[in-house]
């Protein structure tokens, strides 16, 4: 059966500048060298990681980092805690720092708050690379929560500074701030959400209403992928989340459907192109 689909890729989707910067840095080095270590997945997208590991990128974790000596190691856009830089000095590692400027600015603000003795709360995903780097600025003293309910049984100080992981939803951040204020806390809130992510909410909202079906392409580990998919789903009920073409199910479509393809800030354009080609050839 031929579906005769019309398929359009959202021109505003694809890598944010932090990811572009990290990947270009890795590719520049791999053009001249056989391999390059990278601390953690360079981007939360398995397909793109595979493309780069084929070129010689070697993904390692913090445990493996400890046993390296005299090697080059890429710090990805998500940033790292101070302890990583200390270890690199000790083990004579050259760090190629591709930390995103938005994340670095936030790390700096959190460090200054902490140095001034302010209690700190971070709205972010537990165990997420960026959040570990942020919490590291406070010697692990900041309270991290991804849901307000987590704070119900916590003895919080009467006043504190609230920060957010850069890829969280702005609406949720302000809702959390209001809730904490209504509970009688004195909250100094720093909206540190990346505008490259939050501007996409509005862009996606306008994009997804024009189609019968939406295919949202993102890695399962992507934080902003989850946030942006929720935006799609809110404005177009027929939105489907996939990580690669194998996950496409043609029972989603009717003949002559108009299909829109969009993705996270960690979704490569080539992957969305691949999804488009796959849909058009069926």
Phi and psi torsions of 131, nearest 5°: -65, -40
Q: What is the pLDDT of residue 223?
A: 87
Render pLDDT for 245-254 as a digit per residue (tens, 0 to 9): 999 999 999 9
Q: What is the pLDDT of residue 282?
A: 81
Phi and psi torsions of 72, nearest 5°: -90, 135
Whether 78 shows a pLDDT value over 90: the answer reads: yes
Q: What is the pLDDT of residue 172?
A: 94
Mean pLDDT for 70-86 is 97
pTM of the model: 0.90
Q: What is the pLDDT of residue 2?
A: 78
27 is annotated as an active-site residue = no
Q: What is the pLDDT of residue 63?
A: 96
Render pLDDT for 244-278 as a digit per residue (tens, 0 to 9): 999 999 999 999 999 999 999 999 999 999 999 99
Chain centroid to Cα 192, Å, comes to 14
Residue 271: name the closest of 232, 214, 192, 218 by CA.
Answer: 218
Render pLDDT for 104-131 as a digit per residue (tens, 0 to 9): 999 999 999 999 999 999 999 999 999 9
d(CA 164, CA 235): 25
Q: What is the mean pLDDT of the chain?
A: 96
Burial 107-138 (b: 16+ CB within 10 A, else e): bebbbebbeeebbbbbbbbeebbbbbbbbbbb
H helices, E strands: number in the chain? 10, 12
Mean pLDDT for 39-54 is 96
- For the chain, which domains are there? 6-14+197-280 (3.40.1010.20), 17-100 (3.40.50.11270), 102-193 (3.40.1010.20)
From 48, 63, 92, 130, the catalytic residue: 130
Q: How would you class 187 by CB atoms within 10 Å of its CB: exposed for 0-12, middle for 13-18, buried for 19 or more?
A: middle
Chain centroid to Cα 146, Å, comes to 15
Render pLDDT for 151-161 as a digit per residue (tens, 0 to 9): 998 999 999 99
Q: Which pLDDT band, with edges at 50, 70 and 90, does 7 fall under?
A: very high
Q: Which pLDDT band, with edges at 50, 70 and 90, does 25 fall under?
A: very high
Rounded to whole angstroms, what are the CA distances from 84 to 88, 106, 137, 144, 233?
6, 17, 11, 20, 38
Render pLDDT for 165-201 as a digit per residue (tens, 0 to 9): 999 989 999 999 999 999 999 999 999 999 998 999 9
Q: Which pLDDT band, with edges at 50, 70 and 90, does 1 fall under?
A: low
């Amino acid at each position: 059966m031929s579906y005769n689909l019309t398929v359009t890729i959202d021109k505003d989707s694809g890598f944010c500048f932090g990811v572009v910067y990290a990947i270009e840095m890795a590719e520049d080095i791999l053009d001249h060298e056989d391999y390059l270590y990278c601390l953690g997945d360079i981007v939360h997208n398995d397909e793109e990681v595979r493309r780069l590991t084929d070129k010689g990128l070697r993904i390692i974790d913090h445990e493996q980092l400890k046993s390296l000596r005299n090697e080059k190691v890429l710090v990805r856009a998500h940033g790292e805690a101070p302890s990583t830089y200390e270890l690199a000095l000790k083990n004579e590692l050259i760090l190629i720092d591709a930390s995103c400027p938005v994340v670095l600015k936030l790390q700096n603000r959190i460090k200054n708050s902490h140095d001034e003795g302010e209690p700190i709360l971070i709205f972010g995903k537990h165990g997420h690379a960026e959040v570990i780097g942020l919490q590291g600025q406070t010697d692990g003293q900041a309270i991290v929560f991804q849901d307000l309910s987590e704070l119900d049984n916590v003895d919080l100080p009467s006043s504190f500074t609230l920060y957010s992981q850069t890829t969280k939803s702005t609406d949720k951040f302000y809702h959390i701030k209001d809730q904490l204020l209504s509970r009688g806390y004195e909250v100094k809130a720093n909206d540190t959400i990346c505008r490259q992510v939050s501007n996409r909410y509005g862009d996606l909202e306008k994009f997804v209403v024009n189609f019968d079906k939406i295919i949202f392409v993102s890695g399962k580990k992507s934080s902003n992928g989850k946030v942006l998919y929720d935006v799609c789903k809110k404005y177009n009920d027929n939105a489907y989340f996939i990580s690669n073409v194998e996950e496409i199910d043609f029972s989603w479509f009717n003949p002559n459907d108009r299909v829109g393809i969009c993705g996270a800030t960690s979704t490569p354009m080539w992957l969305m192109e691949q999804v488009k080609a796959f849909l058009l050839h069926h």
